[in-house]
Amino acid sequence: MDRRRARRRRLDRNRPNDIDRDPTFEDLDERVFHEYAHHLAGDHGLKQNTVQTYYAYISAWCGWYVNEGYLEAYYAQRAGATAPLPDDGRKPGDQQVWTPEQRYPLTRHVDEQAREVIEAYTTPTPPFPMTWTHSTSNEPSTRR
């Protein structure tokens, strides 16, 4: 219960004076993302990987807004913002779902499909079928 009171005091201390207005992009900073990470990591019955996933959604949203110029910095990925997140024991790349035996045929199939599409769009084709016939003028003739 003391943790909740301390958190409430911290939230009240950081609450803007004009709380009744709609939030703007200028309201977002590292502190906001830190508080959200702290909220997710709190005692809500969420597993560590669920907390990481929920935060990743918000972080991706933040990244998109940075790329579009709405936010000046990628606050969600700063160390201070992510500090409250639990360590779920995973390292980058540890999230592979398929075994190599499953992954190889899948990637081979996708590669083949992509290659066919690329060839179809990069191989020039005449607007109508043309064949050469024996003529003295060496002009192509069309057959339909």
* Three-class secondary structure of residue 130 per DSSP: strand
Q: What is the pLDDT of residue 114?
A: 93
pTM of the entire structure? 0.51
Q: What is the pLDDT of residue 142?
A: 56
Rounded mean pLDDT, 23-28: 84
Contacts of 86 (CB under 8 A, 6+ apart): 41, 48, 51, 52
Q: What is the pLDDT of residue 54?
A: 92
Confidence of residue 8 (pLDDT cuts 50, 70, 90): low
Distance CA 115, CA 120 (A): 9
* Among 115, 114, 65, 56, CA closest to 88: 56
- Burial level of 87, CB count in 10 A (0-12/13-18/19+)? exposed
Q: What is the pLDDT of residue 138?
A: 60
Q: What is the pLDDT of residue 99?
A: 83
Rounded mean pLDDT, 52-68: 92
Distance CA 26, CA 71 (A): 8
pLDDT of 12 above 90? no
| Alpha carbon distances (Å) from 22 to 3, 19, 25 | 29, 8, 10
Average pLDDT in the chain? 80
For residue range 83-141, what is the model confidence (pLDDT) as tens digits?
999 886 766 666 677 788 888 899 999 999 999 998 888 877 766 666 666 656 565 55
